[in-house]
Structure 1
Amino acid sequence: MPELPEVEVARRALQEHCAGRRILRCSAADDPKVIDGVSPSQLESSLAGKTVLAAARKGKNLWLRLDSPPFPSFQFGMTGAVYIKGVELSKYKRSAVSPTEEWPSKYSKLFVELEDGVEFSFTDKRRLAKVRLLEDPESVPPISELGPDALFEPMQVDEFMNALRKKKIAIKALLLDQSFISGIGNWIADEVLYQVSFISFL
């Protein structure tokens, strides 16, 4: 399941390889379960010809800032992933697309070709991800409902302890509450709690 590290790796890769490049063409899947609130043709026409200015992220949501709105946003769900042709995104699993693999993948939900031969694809095997086209991604759900980002806006210990006392819920449940801290999923929460218990033991 994609969690904050995977989404941040995708953001950094898109920033490095796509920012400053114009979108030549794109192809959106005819899959209304994933392509949310917009038709494939509308999504394609809204992106073609635009220049990618930056890749942004909050929690497990990612979006591209273009030279004019609307902007594409990606909620990764269980199996959402970004692939950039010929680029290895992670050292923890094979993520580079080799010349012998099908490209774009049959699981591609949005394929984008940019200047200078750069191509990327957002894929989702289980169809639990969402691709949206938004005027201002940060001002509408789900991004507007997220708490501080666990990486970019770390919470102070006193602030966390005060919230824990007020909410009176289990620590793991609080860590997984995306409106409290965004980006922490099950395995990161488990690792945090393991590290805390290990330190306490010492």
Structure 2
Amino acid sequence: MPELPEVESVRRIMERVLKGRRIAKAEVVPDDIMQFGQNPLTIQEALEGKLVTAVGRHGKYWWLELEEKPWLYGHLGMSGWIRELGAPTMRLKEHGNAPLDDETGRPRFLKLLLETEEGGRIAFTDGRRLGRMWLSSDPTQDDRLTKLGPDAYTALPELDALIAILKKRKAPLKALLLDQGLFAGVGNWIADETLYHARLSPKRLGSSLTPQEVAQLRKALVDVLDHAVRVDADYEQFPEDWLFHHRWGGSKGTEFIDGKQIVREPVGGRTTAWVPEIQL
């Protein structure tokens, strides 16, 4: 599932191709589920001919700021993706090796295609239809975004504030990290990677952490996000000692990392990969 680094990566792609340019053509493929029932023609009319002034992101949500409102908002869901057509693109693990385009060159599972006056093209695709896009006003007024807490990459609470927050929480660390009201943008793999590097059990209650352990947790989260964002979420450029390369079940993963057993079990309502021998 695309998490904060992946969404930041596509935000940068859209910013590079669209910011400061006018949308000459917008193709919005009808999909009541993905568009929350909004009329695709209404979305198309809101986009065509408009100048893109900025591309924003908060947590796992992204949006296009236009010269006038409404603006377009989106979420990649479980396996949605945004790419510049004609340019190299990263692939999510969920995409496997299936072709991205059909035999005519049209993006498979296309939901949105934007073309600028200069000819740059951006495609939003989603085979599982779990992504979303909709028109709304300012991010400070959109119900989905106002429920989010601080962005884990751009606005992570400082150490003293984080100590105070976790001291009051009697939920497992895994559940707390996945709480978008606390750590907007953190998803399953980031949470597992952070806890692995912090050497903390996902089952530990937030209130049980010492100030030093909170510092370990915060540093691990910062380090993981910094690196993942720096390499545009390209997992092939993640360090070899990261749990990411081993955490997946079945043929995609392994049973051990550095000679220590990986346990996969539900924690905080989500499948969790962790190493009990070193995560205490």
Cα distance in structure 2, aligned partners of 1:139 and 1:104: 36
> Is 2:100–2:108's contact at 8 Å kept on the other side of the alignment?
no
Q: TM-score, normalised by structure 1?
A: 0.90
Matches within 5 A, 1:44-55: 44-55=44-55
What's the counterpart of residue 57 of structure 1?
57
| Unaligned runs of at least 5 residues, structure 1 | none
The answer as to whether partners of 2:23 and 2:50 remain within 8 angstroms in 1 is: yes
In structure 2, distance between residues paired with 1:104 and 1:138: 36
**Pick from 199, 203, 215: which aligns with 1:197?**
199
Q: Answer yes or no: is 1:112 the counterpart of 2:114.
A: yes
RMSD: 2.5
- Decide whether aligned partners of structure 1 residues 133 and 91 sit closer, same or farther in structure 2, where only a CA change above 3 A counts: closer
Q: Mark the CA change 1:64 to 1:104 in structure 2 (over 3 Å): closer, same or farther.
A: farther
In structure 2, what is the equivalent of residue 137 of structure 1?
139
User: Alpha-carbon deviation of 1:29?
Assistant: 1.2
Task: State the 1:178 CA deviation.
Answer: 0.1
Tell me how far 1:35 sits from its aligned partner: 1.4
Pick from 150, 153, 174: which aligns with 2:152? 150
**Structure 2 unmatched runs, 5+:** 201-215, 218-277
The question of whether the paired residues in 2 share the 8 Å contact of 1:104 and 1:121 is answered with: no
Matches within 5 A, 1:64-75: 64-75=64-75
Is contact 1:86–1:98 with CA below 8 Å preserved after alignment? no
Deviation at 1:104, TM superposition (A): 3.7
Q: Is the 8 A contact 2:17 2:122 kept in 1?
A: no
The size of the alignment, in residue pairs, is 201
Aligned to 2:79: 79
Moved more, 169-178 or 82-91: 82-91
Q: What amino acid does structure 2 have at the position aligned with 1:82?
A: I
Q: Which residue of 2 aligns with 1:188?
A: 190
The answer as to whether partners of 2:13 and 2:83 remain within 8 angstroms in 1 is no
Q: What does residue 10 of structure 1 align with?
A: 10
- Residues 30-71 of structure 1 show CA distances to partners (whole Å, capped at 9, x for unaligned) of 110001241011111111100111110000000000111110
- Give % identity: 38
Mark the CA change 1:149 to 1:102 in structure 2 (over 3 Å): closer, same or farther: farther
> Which residue in 2 is equivalent to 1:165?
167
| Bigger Rg over Cα | 2
1:121 CA drift (Å): 1.0
Q: CA deviation at 1:99?
A: 8.8
After the TM superposition, which parts of structure 1 deviate over 6 Å for at least 4 consecutive aligned residues? 91-94, 97-101
Mapped partners of 1:99, 1:38: distance in 2 = 26
CA contact (8 A) 2:100 2:107 kept: no
Contact in 1 for aligned 2:25/2:49 (Cα 8 Å): yes
Give the corresponding residue for 2:24: 24
